[in-house]
Amino acid sequence: MKLLADAHISRAMIAFLQSLGHDVVHVATIAPRMSDSTILRLAATEGRVVLTSDRDFGELCFLRLIPSAGVVLLRLSSPSEKERLETFERLWSLVEPNAAGRFHVITDKHVRRSQLPAAE
């Protein structure tokens, strides 16, 4: 899977995804101050699912209807990066097979998913 990791996604999460064979590009390597809407549009153009912890992506996808290849929103509450990574690794298998075209929210205990609006 092709992913675009938002600037605040940890290198450990990116390394985990790459260890599974995913093609992950970190926004910080392209333009660290890229706007959320630009991130979403770039990801859609490249067929990449956005990985973020920024709730603004829900508004961009569902209210402003900016097309997207998919979004995975992390809502992990642990202050420990180690614990957040462990939760992410445990729940990733619920996201991985059907990330394209969907908006996933990974919380501490489960994954919620919604179909993204059709592109106009």
Residue 2's DSSP bridge partners are: 23
| Confidence band, pLDDT 50/70/90 cuts, at residue 120 | low
At residue 113, φ and ψ (nearest 5 deg) are: -135, 145
Domain ranges of the chain: 2-115
The tens digit of pLDDT for each residue in 1-60 reads: 999 999 889 999 999 999 999 999 999 899 878 899 999 999 999 999 999 999 999 999
Task: Calculate Rg over the CA atoms of the chain.
Answer: 13
pTM for this one?
0.93
Q: Does CATH place domain 2-115 in 1.20.120? A: no
SS3 content of the chain, % helix, strand, coil (to 5): 40, 25, 35
Q: Are strands 71-75 and 102-107 parallel, antiparallel or unpaired?
A: parallel
Please tell me the distance from the alpha carbon of residue 12 to that of residue 34, in angstroms, as a whole number. 21
